[in-house]
Structure 1
Amino acid sequence: MRTVQNSIFLLLFCSLSAFTQENDFQTWHSVSLNKKIIKKTNLTVKIGLRLRENSSLYAKQFTDVKIKRKYSKRISYAVGYRYINRWDIALNISNQNRFYADVYYKNKLSKRFSYAVRNRWQTQGYLYGYKMTLRQKFALDYNIRKTKLAPSIATEYFLTLEDGINKLRSTIALGYPLNKKLDFDLAYRIQNEFYVNNPETLFIFEGKLAYDL
């Protein structure tokens, strides 16, 4: 009898887990323009589109404007604004604003390996409700000898005062300069959510084009 009860409990637990966790495949696409406006200071305008539900429906569209300044050889900082259109499951559109500030640190581990850390403080939301989030990203780059290919790996966590760490992103990417001014990046990313109803695990392919004016 106890064995039967344990089996029923295990079945119910597995069923509940299946209903409370969701997976999705998404594709993220973006194009950015970079322009040096004064010494050590760049302006970047980025337009992005994200597709969900196995890359069949709109999830998010955004326009991002950022000013980044190089403080020293290893340290930079930036401020930016992003305007976001979001589509829900019924394809209703809502708008959000994001304001953020970044601090970057990069250094070399060896001749071929380098690492970078980005700290971001952002507030995002609607007209009457904004949420503060701290994002910290760690990246490791490798310079392959005698090739322009630039592989990298990165991990990033999202932290709020209410929930603590509620999102984690892990990324492997490959960059390639198409010419002196145009770069292409292709990435695969896994994103996990925590402390929310029906947490999602996203499997993401991302393509990025960046052009220097």
Structure 2
Amino acid sequence: MEERRQSGRSWEQLVARFARFPGVVAEIDDPLTWGLDLEEETVTGDERPDDPTSQRFLRAYRTFAGEALEVETLHDPCPMDVIDDVVRAAASGALAAPLHADPDTDQVAPDFAEAFDDYRSAMRAVVEAVDEVPLMHATYLVGGAAAPCSRVTVRGVAAVYVAVGDRAVVIAGPDDLVDRVDIVMRPVRSLLHQADDA
């Protein structure tokens, strides 16, 4: 199970864990333009050096309407035979996000999830819905430059994988936002605390 929260770690520890190599991470340039608020920035996963997906730098945003948008930076680009799984996993996670939301929040659960009696059935239906959609290849703008990408779009949710230099970026959330936000690559820094730490 991927480790999602590391609240016991300081920002410096998170940066040290991810920034073992020189490089940059993805963020949304001026998120308020798109009605987004940065909620979390952390490192997820474990530390298997042979797996480019095992450790990710996550920035999680939320719209004022309660929709989640996540931008993850992977240490290295993925092998071609892994990209499909990475994109589909991101799309499944984004589609299932309302199932994990606090019921006391204003986040709207989709009718798709409400149609199922239990969590397991809903999750199975999410995975099946994502698996039915073909993987598409196009381009995606990162830092104003078009780069080849792999993409899945299902039920208003999109997940995009794009290799950027010696990193890879996965963006997942509402398809209209995924298509409009400006993704940029910058040195690792704490946006929540407005402090440069690497």
| Category of TM-score, reference length = shorter chain | 0.3 to 0.5
TM-score computed with the length of structure 2 as normaliser? 0.36
More strand by share: 1
The structure, 1 or 2, with the larger RCO (C-alpha pairs under 8 Å, 6+ apart) is 2
More helix by share: 2
TM-score computed with the length of structure 1 as normaliser? 0.35
